[in-house]
Amino acid sequence: MNLSHDRLRPFITAIFQAAGCQPAEAARVATRLVEANLVGHDSHGVIRVPTYVQWLKAGKVLAGQSIKVVSENDAIAVIDGQFGFGQTIGEQAMRLGIEKCAKHGVAVIALRNSGHLGRIGDWPLMAAEAGKLSLHFVNTSGAGILVAPFGGTQRRLSANPIAAGIPVQGRSPILLDISACTLAEGKIRVALNKGVQVPENCIIDAQGRPTLDPKVFYANPPGAILPIAGHKGYGLAFLCEVLAGALTGGGCSNPEHADRVVNGMLSILIDSSFFQSDPAFATEIERFITWVKSSAKVTPGGDILLPGEIEERTKAQRTRDGIDIDATTWSQLVDIAKTVGLSEPEA
Ligand code: NAD
């Protein structure tokens, strides 16, 4: 199935509206999920819709929530997402961070108890569009324990994305958006739905043996995802758990809270104009980009991409050619549409 984003978005919006969201929130969630597909992160796109709807029905994510400020000063805010949709809560958290950063040059926003924040790259992009650099550390407290610690075979950590955005004059922002584990869990689900193998050196079975079979990951006892780069990725994941879990107050990965998927996020926003005069920062970034890209290429005619460039290219291609949705995901979307009461032709 290939669909243009313009057709997919209203369909997903209609599902969330029928499931109980107000029109604005339904459109917001749909827009961010379809955007994840557009930039090439299908693991965080519309494949999530059935799960989000099930969470909504079960009261594990709540419609119409707003952030609650737990404590704040000029540059810091500790906020509670009150289990609202991450697409709503993430936007509100970033707006608060951008406002504080504009006044004080820096802002630290510690967000706890947010619904799934989706593609974390959305949040540095929002900050970069407002002219701010930003760094984001994310964990999943409770459900979402997926990753084995370095040297271990059992799941102990969450997927722990780290994201950063750098606004660059005259071009799209640099956007780093990586999980500290080798593969986002959603990508294992995509492989399962497509009936294909996962890449090498990404997952292990319950005995710690490497496997390419996505079914092994969901077996009983389950497999686990490996951290990126061995002990280094494990160290970054540990840092994410501490910053996004312990410091925000949402908690680190904890099986006692495994009844719902909840994201915590520590965001640090920086206004470069408080640190460097206007042209100096932009000039140095531009010089550095040129220097990095000037390296000899591994393959003749090959390319060196900046973080975020591949998503930009994929977005241009998928906006033009449409978004491919595998048959399993499509039938799950149609099923959930009917479950929430959309009629057969609408679905
Ligand atoms: P990934 O491995 O696809 O890496 C993406 C990053 O690598 C991007 O910054 C991209 O621009 C860069 N990149 C990719 N190819 C490149 C190339 N050839 N040259 C230079 N840079 C390149 O991403 P991932 O770790 O699989 O994560 C996928 C998504 O899952 C992310 O959007 C992440 O935020 C999301 N995620 C969310 C949660 C959550 O709890 N909400 C948890 C885990 C992951």
Summarize pLDDT for 96-112 with one digit per residue, the tens.
999 999 999 999 999 99
How confident is the model at residue 344, as a pLDDT?
65
Mutate to test the pocket of ligand 1, among 178, 182, 187, 225 (most ligand atoms within 8 A of CB): 178
Residue 178 Cα, ligand 1 centroid: separation in angstroms? 4
- Distance from C-alpha of 205 to C-alpha of 224, rounded to nearest angstrom: 6
Residue 33 Cα, ligand 1 centroid: separation in angstroms? 15
Task: Provide mean pLDDT across the span 122-133.
Answer: 98
Mutate to test the pocket of ligand 1, among 38, 41, 139, 177 (most ligand atoms within 8 A of CB): 177
The full 3-state SS of the chain, as one line of letters, equals CEECHHHHHHHHHHHHHHHCCCHHHHHHHHHHHHHHHHCCCHHHCHHHHHHHHHHHHCCCCECCCCCEEEEECCCEEEEECCCECHHHHHHHHHHHHHHHHHHHCEEEEEEEEECCCCCCCHHHHHHHHCCCEEEEEEEEEECCCCECCCCCCCCCECCCEEEEEEEECCEEEEEEEEECECCCHHHHHHHHHHCCCCCCCCEECCCCCEECCHHHHCCCCCCEECECCCHHHHHHHHHHHHHHHHCCCCCCCCHHHCCCEEEEEEEEEECHHHCCCHHHHHHHHHHHHHHHHCCCCCCCCCCCCCCCHHHHHHHHHHHHHCEECCHHHHHHHHHHHHHCCCCCCCC
311 pocket-lining for ligand 1 (C-beta < 6 Å): yes
How confident is the model at residue 343, as a pLDDT?
79
**pLDDT, tens digit, for every residue of 242-262?**
999 999 999 999 999 889 999
Q: 278: pLDDT confidence band, cut at 50, 70 and 90?
A: confident
Which residue, judged by its Cα, is nearest atom 23 of ligand 1?
Answer: 178
117 pocket-lining for ligand 1 (C-beta < 6 Å): yes
How confident is the model at residue 347, as a pLDDT?
66
233 pocket-lining for ligand 1 (C-beta < 6 Å): no
- pLDDT at 162 > cutoff 70: yes
- With tokens 């390419």, the residue in question is 212
Which positions ≥6 away from 67 have C-beta within 8 Å?
79, 80, 81, 82, 84, 89, 92, 93, 96, 111
264 pocket-lining for ligand 1 (C-beta < 6 Å): no
Domains of the chain in start order, with CATH, are 2-275+324-339 (3.30.1370.60)
1 pocket-lining for ligand 1 (C-beta < 6 Å): no
Amino acid at 308: G
**pLDDT, tens digit, for every residue of 184-200?**
888 898 899 889 999 99
**pLDDT, tens digit, for every residue of 290-303?**
999 999 999 999 99
Q: Quick one: what percent of the chain has pLDDT higher than 70?
A: 99
